[in-house]
Structure 1
Amino acid sequence: MDIPGYVWLLTIVGILGLLTFDFFFHVRKAHEPTLPEAAKWSAIYVGIAILFGFGVFLFGGGTMGTEYFAGYITEKALSVDNLFVFLIIMASFKVPRMDQQKVLLFGIVFALIARTGFIFLGSALINSFAWLFYLFGAFLIYTAIKLLKPEEESDEADNFIIRLAKRLFNTTERYDGDKLFTMENGKKVMTPMLLVMVAIGGTDLLFALDSVPAIFGLTQNVYIVFTATAFSLMGLRQLYFLIDGLLDRLIYLSYGLAAILGFIGVKLVLHALHENTLPFINGGEHVPVFEISTGLSLIVIIGVLAVTVLASLWSPAGRAHSAITSSRTSAKKYLAGDFSGKGQTRDEVYAQVVAHERALGLLNEKHRARAAEDEELNALLAEAHETHSTSSK
């Protein structure tokens, strides 16, 4: 179905309007969103995406509507996975909570630009070279296998671009609000804020490599691909603050995403076989294979995500992981003197340290032993108690 130019124009203007509204009314003035604020605006952005989907159903038909929702849910799930990396980057650079909104909005805008470029490039290539579905499918299956392999956690957001920037430019470890450059000892220097944005932008490019092939596996309608991707990124900033404490509980999310990407990869390969023109496969003729419908794809995606989230939240391993992470985070926050949260004092943050440490004692024997063997955690807790004891005298 061809989408009229005025519909494209109205859609792009609407998305730019939402981003502009987000900047001027929420991000321009540095602050840490409250939980009710994050929940309200997350719900509003999800509601806008759903209403748009119903509009697609109404004006574009059932097939387009189903493709939109399948794409939106898949991209939203991948976006939540991206938040894990954003969390590590901002923790590594010690970005003040009040300034994290601006970093996130930059990441969202850069991701939208990068993915839009990949979308139109991918569409042009697919229209000219249908055999690219084989490559897209193989890449998604490879990505799914990689997600199943456990990787060592790292708190370092360091890459070639960051190291090069530090070597070529005068940099400082000191933040100056949300400024990208500041004056230090009479010289103009680069603040960590610019390095954070470079790190976020670099990871956005890598995320696009997974995201765009995944949604092309569900639909080749460029308008649906673009809008599903754009609306999945809308509200990601609010979602970050809403589920900040929940992210570490989703311990099985990578397995769920691996299942979804693997499923879409197989779907792409089957579609490539069905449309085959490669001479060394079936003599260049189409291969009669079963093709997975978009409706079935939507059911599988929702089902996998539901099982993944519920298993993560209800499992003892998920609760243990959350307790250990919360304890480590609160101890680091206390030791860093980060009392920037609304109404927080040194004593209130220390009370969080004590409460989270108590939660560790309520875990079952297996997970209590895991916490006891965590040398970094126990060193942080010991230092927090000693520091508080000294400061109280």
Structure 2
Amino acid sequence: MDVPLWIWGLTVAAIIAMIAFDFIGHVRTPHAPTLRESATWSAIYVGIAVVFGLLVLVFAGPQYGGEYFAGFITEKSLSVDNLFVFVLIMASFAVPRELQQKVLLFGIAFALALRTVFIFAGAAAIENFSWIFYLFGGFLIYTAWAQAKSGGHDDDEEFKENGFLRLTRRLLPTTEDYHSDRLTTKVGGKRFITPLFIALIAIGSADILFAVDSIPAIFGLTQETYLVFTANAFALLGLRQLFFLLDGLLDKLVYLAYGLAVILGFIGVKLVIHALHENELPFINGGEHVTAIPEIPTWLSLLVIVVTLAVTTWASLRKNKRDAAAGRPSPTEAGDAGAGREGRQVAAPQLHDDLPTGGRADAPPTGRTAAVRATDGGRNGEERA
């Protein structure tokens, strides 16, 4: 697939424009989006992704169109799974609902930039080392096994800070409380970062782990760098709206982990088969290509992905319906019983002006501590960042 440079430039400019529009039109003024707003914009972003895929289908042919749609659906599904972690992060740092959009949008922008680097690095590795498909395939099969073994997400699960996040909090002085939507503030003439900044780092650094399985997965469906990039970009762009649309419903997808395990395992096998066809390793078949096993066509990949997700969703809804009929609490209701996430969280903090004195360089408050106060101004010589 030969993509002219001007098409690349136009695509990147359009994606940047959509992120900028999101920031100016929705995030610049902190607010908690309504269900209608989230549903409308989720539909718009999915519609844009579908229209783009139809353009690929028309101008590049059914092969590349099918690869794009398979990649987009897979990345979107993995993004939904990632929302579980975002929920944990929001609850752990007690991010006020009015500020969650800003954290998500900055995190998505960082994720897109990071994944772009990973995509081009992966494309270069594939171009020069055909054996990389063995590594990608083996890793996805292992990830699928681990995903199926875990069986999903535990309501009692807590967000565990990674090393980078711990280092950031150790080196940079952090205020105890939120200061409206500021990332930094001055207290007593000294510059501090706020818990909002820490939450943003948590979202961004978590995506490094997400990219480890999502990038190999999409390379298992298409090796076209342009399609890999656009499928990732369009899957991420609507993630902020999807977070609020599915808030409170995520835990009802009780079989999502198993569905994703099937998809990742299938793509892993597809990658291994492709690696055998491209084989150059001397200890496998004497360094010759192994073509006895036919490669899996794109249409079959797309069919497996769509059917798996449809069955997973149907089975999850059936289980929730049976649990409701039997009088058992739904996963969401069970989560409400404990200290939960934002949207199910006990007493989400509100924005107000009573700022406590001083700031300290210790851990930001978590969802398990008493209410964290978020402020938009106050005493002690604070200045907007």
**Which protein, 1 or 2, shows the higher relative CO under an 8 Å CA cutoff with sep ≥ 6?**
2
Q: Following the alignment from structure 1 to structure 2, what is the Cα–Cα distance between the partners of residues 172 and 185? A: 12
Unmatched tracts of structure 1, length 5 or more: 342-393
CA distance, structure 1, for counterparts of residue 159 and residue 51 of structure 2:
40
CA distance in 2, matches of 1:229, 1:156: 25
1:317 Cα shift? 5.3
Q: CA deviation at 1:327?
A: 4.1
* Residue 183 (structure 1) shift: 2.7
The CA deviation at 1:147 is 0.8
Question: In structure 2, do the counterparts of structure 1 residues 282 and 154 end up closer, same or farther at CA, with 3 Å as the change threshold?
Answer: same
Structure 1 residues 211-220 or 315-324, which shifts more? Answer: 315-324
Secondary structure at the counterpart of residue 32 of structure 2 = coil
DSSP 3-state at the match of 2:191 = strand
Q: Measure, in 2, the Cα distance between the counterparts of 1:156 and 1:15.
A: 30
Identify which of 302, 307, 311 aligns with 1:307. Answer: 311
* Aligned-partner Cα distance in 2 for 1:138–1:275: 16
- Is contact 1:38–1:241 with CA below 8 Å preserved after alignment? yes
State the SS of the aligned residue for 1:254. Answer: helix
The equivalent of 1:279 in structure 2 is 282
**1:79 has 2:70 as partner:** no
Equivalent position to 1:164, from 164, 167, 185? 167
1:93 deviates by 0.2
Cα shift readout 1:137-188 (whole Å, capped 9, x = no counterpart): 0010111111122276432342222222222222122000121112334432
Indicate if the aligned counterparts of 1:180 and 1:191 stay in contact, CA closer than 8 A. Answer: yes
Contact 1:88-1:157 at 8 Å conserved across structures = no
For the pair 1:110 / 2:122, whether they are aligned, the reply is no
Tell me, yes or no, if structure 1 residue 248 matches structure 2 residue 251.
yes
SS at match of 1:74: helix
Give the length in aligned residue pairs. Answer: 344
For residues 1-393 of structure 1, the aligned pairs below 5 Å read: 1-150=1-150, 153-288=156-291, 289-315=293-319, 316=322, 320-328=330-338, 337-338=347-348, 340=350
Asked if structure 2 preserves the Cα contact closer than 8 Å seen for 1:157 and 1:199, the reply is no
Work out the percentage of aligned pairs sharing the same amino acid.
Answer: 57
Cα separation, partners in 2 of 1:105 and 1:333, compared to 1, 3 Å = closer
Match of 1:384 in 2: none
The amino acid across from 1:296 in the alignment is: L
Q: CA RMSD in A?
A: 2.3
Query: Could you say if the C-alpha distance between residues 251 and 122 of structure 1 is closer, same or farther in structure 2, counting changes exceeding 3 Å?
Result: same
Partner residue in 2 for 1:348: none
Structure 2: gaps of 5 or more residues: 352-385
Task: Tell me: CA distance 1:333–1:114, structure 2 relative to 1, closer, same or farther (3 Å).
Answer: closer
What residue identity is the alignment partner of 1:62? Answer: P
The answer on whether the counterparts of 1:148 and 1:258 sit within 8 Å (CA) in structure 2 is yes
Instruction: Tell me if the contact between 1:92 and 1:157 (Cα under 8 Å) persists in the aligned partners.
Output: no
Change (3 A) 1:282 1:29: same
Q: Residue 188 of structure 1 aligns to a residue in which SS?
A: strand
Whole-angstrom distance in 2 between the partners of 1:335 and 1:231: 30
The aligned residue for residue 365 of structure 1 is none
Equivalent residues of 2:90, 2:342 under 8 A apart: no
Greater share of helix residues, 1 or 2? 1
Q: Is the 8 A contact 1:72 1:228 kept in 2?
A: yes
Question: Secondary structure at 2:157's aligned position in 1?
Answer: coil
What is the distance in 2 between the residues matched to 1:336 and 1:96? 11
Q: Distance in 2 between matches of 1:273 and 1:42?
A: 40
Secondary structure of 1:182's aligned partner: strand
Return the letter of the residue paired with 2:301: S
Write the distance in 2 (CA, Å) between the matches of 1:171 and 1:330: 24
